Amino acid sequence: MHKEYYTVITGASEGFGKALSLECARRGMNLILVALPGDELEQLARFIQQDYAVKTICIAHDLTRKEECYKLLEKINDAGLAVNILINNAGMGGSHYFGERDTEYYHRQIGLNVVAPTLLTHLFLESLKQHSPSYILNVGSLAGFFNLPLKQVYGGTKSYIASFSKSLREELKHKNVFVSAVCPGGMNTTLALILQNRSLSGISRWSVMNPEEVAKIAIDDMLRKKAIIIPGFWNKLFVLMDKLLPNWLKELIISRKMKKQSFDLPVSINRSIRPQLQ
């Protein structure tokens, strides 16, 4: 009898996680959707079950708590579900001066952005090896490529995701487990961001993408076994320009933006070419 495989997606109930869930459903993947407790998760699961011929299970967990990661694996194992794709999407953003937030905020952010995907990858590793070829997709950010005031901890967590993914990829590729990291720039994931992005001009506005578009690129490239996925022409250009510009010029640009208190993310080439990161 052919074994049914499942794709686990964390942070699945809204934003980019929701777009990833719908994209995977369109491709006929059975889903295990994980998010904080709430109506959004169950509504998404019902919609997918009604509109797509896939099996969908939703499990509510707060992945900032280590024990919740273990409970998630336990529930999946108890149900006898075979996982061959793990998408670590759950994350916590924010833009602020470092001293404006308390230590609990950063503890939670690092827990969700770094600890949770690391633990979940370790916990699901045996299942992924048993059901190869299998895939791990870690959701990073373009912010992980830049040194960004106002996103110092967030950018650091996303740098970790890219480095972790690339190193783990080398370990696992001979086991038929393929690790990728998708690093999007600005996306229209919430109403507030949509309104904010509409106020942009030039390349800043052109670089913003819809989450559905990014999700398709991410899953396409994951299945092609690509290591680092940077969706969109302008986002690729920003990364290239950052490599080419001398450090003194990048520091000067950032310093001027901070003095004007108009810095709104990340390394800016000039006011018209500024990637908007989430």
d(CA 55, CA 53): 7
Which residue range(s) make up the domain with 94? 5-259
One digit per residue, pLDDT tens: the chain, 278 residues? 457 999 999 999 999 999 999 999 999 999 999 999 989 999 999 999 999 989 999 999 999 999 999 999 999 999 999 999 999 999 998 888 999 999 999 999 999 999 999 999 999 999 999 999 999 999 999 989 988 888 899 999 999 999 999 999 999 999 999 999 999 987 755 545 544 544 544 445 556 788 999 999 999 999 999 999 999 887 888 888 778 877 776 666 666 655 544 444 443 333 333 344 44
- For residue 47, tell me if it sits in a domain: yes
For residue 44, the model assigns a pLDDT of 96
- For residue 210, tell me if it sits in a domain: yes
Contact 238, 202 (CB under 8 A): no
Q: 24: buried, middle or exposed (CB in 10 Å: 19+, 13-18, 0-12)?
A: buried
Q: How many domains is the chain partitioned into structurally? A: 1
Our measurement of the distance from residue 201's CA atom to the centroid of its chain's CA atoms, rounded to an integer in Å, reads 25
- For residue 43, tell me if it sits in a domain: yes
The pair of three-digit structure tokens given for residue 166, joined into one six-digit string: 């690339």
For residue 202, the model assigns a pLDDT of 47
- For residue 278, tell me if it sits in a domain: no
- For residue 272, tell me if it sits in a domain: no
For residue 195, the model assigns a pLDDT of 47
- For residue 271, tell me if it sits in a domain: no
Alpha-carbon dihedral sign for residues 33, 39, 43, 44: negative
Contact 84, 140 (CB under 8 A): no
The pair of three-digit structure tokens given for residue 71, joined into one six-digit string: 């409970």
CATH number assigned to the domain comprising residue 164 = 3.40.50.720
d(CA 184, CA 207): 10
- For residue 40, tell me if it sits in a domain: yes
CB atoms within 10 A of CB 168: 19
- Amino acid (1-letter code) at residue 225: K
- For residue 275, tell me if it sits in a domain: no
